[in-house]
């Protein structure tokens, strides 16, 4: 099928109605909603996928730092899927609960550290992970894991900001 007349340079891989719908789904993912990355990519053949990724990377080069971090996370998930295939582990291993502070203890520690200005990203991440481990339903666990993922993205963004600031200061 020929290219649609309204197709832009960054949309050249979307050449059919189905491709256009899938492209819209991928755009929704990068906006924070929608399909899992692996599910979205499986709809493209390898050539279109590589072209799409290259175009998306170029377009994100002028986008926000958060988009770049999320793109890295999606890329890492794709690598994990290629290496391990679909993984369906249990949600919580009873033995792991003793390896991390209880959610209540982690929450109290975060509150204390925040009150004296000593909180670190690891404290917040551990609190969120502890809450996910102690969740009593998959719905609650999913909510906590999304919060944990958001904290980890924020932590990466903070590292990137420090790196950018340090690069500006270096002679």
Q: Could you say which DSSP state residue 2 is in?
A: P
| Residue 66 placed within a domain | yes
Decide: 112 and 86 in contact? Cβ < 8 Å.
no
| Residue 2 placed within a domain | no
**Same-domain pairing of 125 and 68:** no
**Same-domain pairing of 110 and 80:** no
Task: Report helix, strand and coil shares of the chain as percent, to nearest 5.
Answer: 70, 0, 30
**Same-domain pairing of 163 and 102:** yes
End-to-end CA distance of the chain: 54
Q: Give the CA radius of gyration of the chain.
A: 20
Q: What is the pLDDT of residues 12-63, one digit of tens each?
A: 444 444 444 445 445 545 444 444 555 555 544 555 666 676 666 666 555 6
For 44, the domain range is 10-84
The tokens for 124 are 């917040």
Q: Of 55, 84, 113, which residue sits at a domain end?
A: 84
**Same-domain pairing of 99 and 165:** yes
Number of compact structural domains in the chain: 2
User: What pLDDT band is residue 110 in, cutting at 50, 70 and 90?
Assistant: very high
Decide: 64 and 160 in contact? Cβ < 8 Å.
no
pTM of the model: 0.60
């Amino acid at each position: 099928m020929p290219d649609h007349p309204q197709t832009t340079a960054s949309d050249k891989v979307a050449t059919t109605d189905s491709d256009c719908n899938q492209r819209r789904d991928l755009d929704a993912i990068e906006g924070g909603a929608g399909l899992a990355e692996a599910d979205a990519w499986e709809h493209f053949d390898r050539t279109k996928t590589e072209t799409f990724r290259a175009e998306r990377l170029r377009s994100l080069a002028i986008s926000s730092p958060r988009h770049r971090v999320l793109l890295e996370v999606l890329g890492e998930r794709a690598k994990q899927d290629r290496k391990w295939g679909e993984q369906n582990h249990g949600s919580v291993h009873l033995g792991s609960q003793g390896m991390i502070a209880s959610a209540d203890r982690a929450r109290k520690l975060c509150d204390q550290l925040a009150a004296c200005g000593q909180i670190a990203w690891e404290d917040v991440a551990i609190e969120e992970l502890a809450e996910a481990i102690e969740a009593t339903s998959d719905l609650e666990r999913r909510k906590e894991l999304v919060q944990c993922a958001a904290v980890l993205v924020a932590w990466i963004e903070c590292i990137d900001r420090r790196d950018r600031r340090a690069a500006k200061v270096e002679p």
